[in-house]
Structure 1
């Protein structure tokens, strides 16, 4: 208890904004489980080895276009399946695939190691908010299924906001949801340099890059600190307070 109190008193941040997918929740694991379940529901019990990787590549491209504002989320949700099926000459219903996949995604929740303990410790220091470009009602259901909901004060989604990370308007929308906000006492924790860290840079707040793959940073985004495991986050953020 005394250790937790010392960590809380040393922490300069009072608002912690967490990306959800591949930061707190293992989206890649959930994605593959949901995709496989969807294909089986559509009658494709033995999808080809390239089907899921091709879907991932198409999906990633469409999400980048969404973040650039060139496609809508409703278009993306169906188009990723339409393109995948077309590439493999499969006569499957893309709209049905989208619906089944999203339903499954909220039921196949996998936590990143250390997520629950981290949220518990940071909730003792301040307020935790979720920042996500994902589908609003699906993300809320996934959080409810994850066991993290009791530590989270609010959920900001691009769908509800109308703007996506890294757009500063998304962060303006987000911080209005917090109990209190100051740039100096807010930090973003996320795995995406181009969305989370760049968004923090543009909005003038600190950031912690969750980089479990130890990837090189070849981008213009500049994280305030970097961690490779979630159990390093609390100490790293407290260390920034001591260095200030």
Structure 2
């Protein structure tokens, strides 16, 4: 295998963030005294949160603003007199306790860690992501964690990838690969930085973006065989 540096996105690549997100959201609403059905509330929160993350990735909003605004806007839309700052803190405190691994995450990280170096590249909140990794049981396979919060720039900004790879052992670009589920952050970032990429696409979605992955998989179990095949191509 020619690759020696494996840079994994965290959420929805190794960890099932959608499952964790809903569990944490439900716990947060219950802690705030809201026990009625929240499916509509959660759906609106997800849409607002996604939009704010897109704005953060372009530098339009700060992460501190995002963390509270997603709750403030959701509560305002539903006419709820709940404290968005309290909701934000409760939610972030809950996330490390609701970690769900995507199938194959442990196996692929352990296999690749034995071959080279595994790093995490994430636009998430640094303290929370580190706690979630610790809860996941993947920590012994991971050499470093690079977050946009510590870097000051977010994926797909090339400066983020320059920051992340400085945390790794010496490497050549042709020996590195980024694995992630986001075309607009992970794969486009890899294209701009000039290294290989693997699009993790379990939903088998069509690629209508400008990002061009080196290869694509629908299961984490397929990553190691695909990397071996790429080395022989």
Asked whether the equivalents of residues 133 and 165 of structure 1 are also in contact (C-alpha less than 8 Å), the reply is: yes
Aligned equivalents of 1:182, 1:82: Cα separation in 2: 45
Task: Detail structure 1 runs of 4+ shifted over 3 Å in the superposition.
Answer: none
1:107 to 2:107 alignment = no
Deviations 1:15-48 (A, max 9, x none): 0000000000000000000000000000001144
The count of residues paired between Structure 1 and Structure 2 equals 233
Aligned equivalents of 2:227, 2:44: Cα separation in 1: 38
Aligned equivalents of 1:181, 1:91: Cα separation in 2: 53
Report the TM-score when normalising by structure 1: 0.95
Once the two structures are superposed, the pairs formed by residues 116-195 of structure 1 within 5 Å of their partners are 116-195=106-185
Aligned equivalents of 2:39, 2:57: Cα separation in 1: 29
Q: Cα offset for 1:216?
A: 0.1
1:205 to 2:195 alignment = yes
Aligned equivalents of 2:101, 2:37: Cα separation in 1: 26
Report the TM-score when normalising by structure 2: 0.99
Aligned equivalents of 2:79, 2:200: Cα separation in 1: 38
Aligned equivalents of 2:36, 2:13: Cα separation in 1: 31
Could you say which residue in structure 1 is the equivalent of 2:56? 66
Asked whether the equivalents of residues 39 and 47 of structure 1 are also in contact (C-alpha less than 8 Å), the reply is: no
Aligned equivalents of 2:37, 2:188: Cα separation in 1: 37
1:23 to 2:13 alignment = yes
Gaps of 5+ in 2: none
Q: Cα offset for 1:228?
A: 0.2
Could you say which residue in structure 1 is the equivalent of 2:204? 214
**C-alpha RMSD of matched pairs (Å):** 0.5
Aligned equivalents of 1:49, 1:200: Cα separation in 2: 36
